[in-house]
């Protein structure tokens, strides 16, 4: 928790990411721990690795329609399993709707962009801004964070209302993945709002000096969200766990959570 993170000067921050605007930056917090993967590449590679090295069988394009003890009913027939981990993402109605309902989950819809800089830029680190400090509880719940949140509410009300914070990372082709917004509701919102993309880009241009940058992709994603927990682990039966990441961090925490859930089922 914060180990080896340290405050750096605006000049040091520019050494990592020369495209940052020095003007207006007071200092930055540097973390040496950040790693990122490109989900669309990493997920198929992980599946292939699990299949080849660990003999995992994947039943693609198959819906699970019911679970009864060790019997799993699917759209392609029955399966048997001694232990079952149900990870339905933001599908609250197919499996165990009665167990999910009391948690009062919402669907969080996010908008993100891919940006191509006009000239090559180098990102030696992922970049987040003060909007991120005002949003993530680890920072926002600190006394100083509360003061910052109040200031951001006053100065950037529209961005705060759309749950926007600026996070920019670089892909291996030099383009940037930039996000994101967070709007909570009862169903995924399929339509990306231009207004929200414009606000993300406004935040981006406030911290980066990248004339001529182009948006090359826009997308909408969703995840399950709870107001009182970041992870939900429910126990429909001794051999079954219902597991949902409800704080938007499943790509980071999924491995550790999986390890815990498996050892709990077999305990």
Ligand X SMILES: Cc1cc2nc3c(=O)[nH]c(=O)nc-3n(C[C@H](O)[C@H](O)[C@H](O)COP(=O)(O)OP(=O)(O)OC[C@H]3O[C@@H](n4cnc5c(N)ncnc54)[C@H](O)[C@@H]3O)c2cc1C
User: Residue 14: what are its φ and ψ, rounded to 5°?
Assistant: -70, -25
Task: Find the shortest distance in angstroms from Cβ 68 to ligand X.
Answer: 14
34: CB partners within 8 A, 6+ apart: 125, 126
Distance of CA 245 to the CA centre of its chain: 10
Q: Give whichever of 90 and 130 is closer to ligand X, judged by the CB atom.
A: 90
Closest CB 88 distance from ligand X, rounded Å? 4
Judged by beta carbon, residue 14 or residue 87, the one nearer ligand X is 87
- Alpha-carbon distance of 10 to 16, in angstroms, equals 10
> Other CB atoms closer than 10 Å to residue 185's CB: what's the count?
12
For 54, 135, 145, the CA distances from 153, given in Å and listed in that order, are: 49, 11, 12
Pairwise CA distance, residues 69 & 237, whole Å: 7
Residues 81-110 close enough to bind ligand X by CB under 6 A: 87-91, 94-95, 110
Q: Which residue in the set 8, 14, 46, 64 belongs to the binding site for ligand X (CB under 6 A)?
A: 64
Site for ligand X (CB under 6 A): how many residues? 22
Closer residue to ligand X in complex, CB, 119/256: 256
Q: Is residue 245 near ligand X by the rule CB under 6 A?
A: yes
**150-179: contacts with ligand X (CB under 6 A):** none
Please identify, using beta-carbon distances, which residue of 25 and 251 lies nearer to ligand X: 251
The phi-psi region of residue 59 (left if phi > 0; otherwise alpha if psi is between -120 and 50; otherwise beta) is: beta
Answer for which of 221, 236, 239, 260 binds ligand X (CB under 6 A) is 221
- Under the criterion CB under 6 A, does residue 112 sit at the interface with ligand X? yes
266 vs 82: CA distance, rounded Å: 10
Phi, psi at 68, each rounded to 5°: -135, 100
Minimum CB separation from ligand X for residue 143, in Å?
27
Nearer to ligand X, 134 or 250 (CB): 250
Pick the closest to residue 136 from 252, 255, 8 (CA basis).
252
* Shortest distance, position 8 Cβ to ligand X, whole Å: 23
CB of 119 to ligand X, least distance (A): 26
Residue 231 near ligand X by CB under 6 A: no
Q: Is residue 248 a contact residue for ligand X (CB under 6 A)?
A: yes
The nearest distance, CB 115 to ligand X, in angstroms, is: 15
DSSP code at position 222 = E
Interface residue with ligand X, options 48, 50, 63, 161 (CB under 6 A): 63
Q: 81-113: buried (b, 16+ CB within 10 Å) or exposed (e) per residue?
A: eeebbbbbebebeebbeeebeebebbbbbbbbb
Binding-site ranges for ligand X (CB under 6 A): 63-64, 87-91, 94-95, 110, 112, 180, 221-223, 245, 248-252, 254
């Amino acid at each position: 928790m914060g180990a080896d993170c340290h405050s750096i000067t605006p000049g040091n921050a520019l050494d990592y990411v020369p495209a940052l605007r020095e003007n207006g930056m007071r200092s930055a917090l540097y973390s040496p721990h950040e790693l990122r993967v490109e989900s669309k590449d990493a997920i198929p590679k992980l599946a292939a690795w699990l299949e080849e090295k660990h003999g995992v069988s994947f039943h693609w394009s198959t819906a699970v329609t019911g679970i009864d003890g060790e019997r799993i009913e699917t759209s392609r027939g029955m399966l048997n399993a001694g232990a079952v981990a149900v990870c339905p993402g933001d599908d609250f109605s197919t499996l165990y709707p009665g167990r999910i309902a009391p948690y009062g989950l919402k669907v969080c819809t996010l908008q993100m962009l891919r940006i191509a800089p006009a000239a090559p830029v180098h990102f030696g680190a992922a970049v987040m801004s003060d909007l991120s400090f005002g949003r993530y509880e680890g920072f926002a719940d600190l006394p100083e964070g509360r003061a910052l949140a109040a200031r951001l509410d006053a100065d950037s009300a529209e961005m705060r209302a759309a749950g926007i914070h600026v996070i920019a990372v670089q892909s291996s082709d030099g383009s940037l993945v930039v996000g994101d917004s967070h709007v909570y509701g009862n169903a995924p919102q399929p339509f990306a709002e231009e207004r929200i993309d414009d606000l993300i880009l406004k935040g981006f241009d406030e911290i980066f000096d990248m004339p001529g940058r182009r948006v090359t992709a826009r997308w909408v994603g969703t995840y399950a969200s709870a107001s009182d927990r970041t992870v939900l682990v429910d126990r429909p039966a001794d051999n079954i766990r219902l597991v949902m990441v409800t704080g938007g961090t499943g790509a980071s925490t999924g491995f550790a959570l999986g390890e815990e859930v498996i050892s709990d089922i077999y305990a």
